[in-house]
Amino acid sequence: MKKVYINVQRAGNRCVIEMSIGNITAIYKRIGDLSKLTSHGRGNVRQVKALVREFVRNSDPAIV
């Protein structure tokens, strides 16, 4: 079983979420209304990006 590491940093209207599963990393960056999701690594990158999107949609607005 692989472990999922989630790192959330927030300052004002800026937010950076980094999620790592094994050797795959997805980074979600948001400033105001603009957002960007990037990923790198070898393996099932689409699954990690989908997990980040669900985390952003379902998390508390005070965190994200």
Predicted confidence (pLDDT) per residue in 1-45, tens digit: 578 899 999 998 899 999 999 899 999 999 988 999 999 998 888
Say if residues 13 and 31 touch (Cβ distance below 8 Å). yes
pTM, two decimals, is 0.84
Beta-carbon-side half-sphere exposure of residue 59 (alpha carbons within 13 Å): 14
As a whole number of angstroms, the distance between CA 62 and CA 64 comes to 6
Contacting residues for 4 by C-beta, under 8 A, at least 6 apart: 19, 20, 21, 51
Of 35, 29, 5, 26, which Cα lies nearest the Cα of 15?
29
